[in-house]
Amino acid sequence: MISFDEFLKVDVRAGTVIRAEIFHEARKPAFKLWIDFGPEIGEKRSSAQITVRHRLEELPGRQVIAVVNFLPRRIGPFMSEVLVLGHHDTDGNVVLLGPDFPVPDGARVL
């Protein structure tokens, strides 16, 4: 178990996907995402293995939830700066988490 104070150290925010591309160099099928987290955090990049449940052309404009204070991680030639959150469906495919209604980019998850 972790304490509530430990949980608060994880900075989870909403952001809007502004650009998405196929990540051709990834070992497993993935997309490269550019996400706007508002003026405080700005634009960050992420690699996401979401190609089964999500279509590339539907991602721009979609709001997602991500951890924004992990250390960046190099995935092949791409630097992933945030961890986009999702969960597995019954077939093990990743489904993105996002708000049900629009929220300001950079809004912190409570």
Is 102 a member of any domain? no
Which residue blocks in the chain are alpha helix, DSSP H?
Answer: 4-8, 38-41
Is 105 a member of any domain? no
Query: Model confidence over 5-39: pLDDT tens digits?
Result: 999 999 999 999 999 999 999 999 999 999 999 99
pTM of the complete model: 0.95
Q: How far is residue 83's CA from residue 64's CA, in Å, rounded to a whole number?
A: 10
Is 110 a member of any domain? no
Is 60 a member of any domain? yes
Judge whether 43 and 34 are in contact, CB under 8 Å.
yes
What CATH number has the domain bearing residue 72?
2.40.50.140
Is 104 a member of any domain? no
Please give the structure tokens belonging to residue 30.
């993935």
Is 15 a member of any domain? yes
86: number of Cβ within 10 Å: 20
Query: Model confidence over 34-48: pLDDT tens digits?
Result: 999 999 999 999 999
pLDDT above 90 covers a percentage of the chain that reads 99
Is 51 a member of any domain? yes
Is 103 a member of any domain? no
What is the pLDDT, as a whole number, of residue 110? 84
Q: What is the average per-residue pLDDT within 46-55?
A: 97
63: domain range?
Answer: 4-96
Q: How many domains does the chain have?
A: 1
Dihedral over Cα of 38, 89, 72, 8: its sign: positive
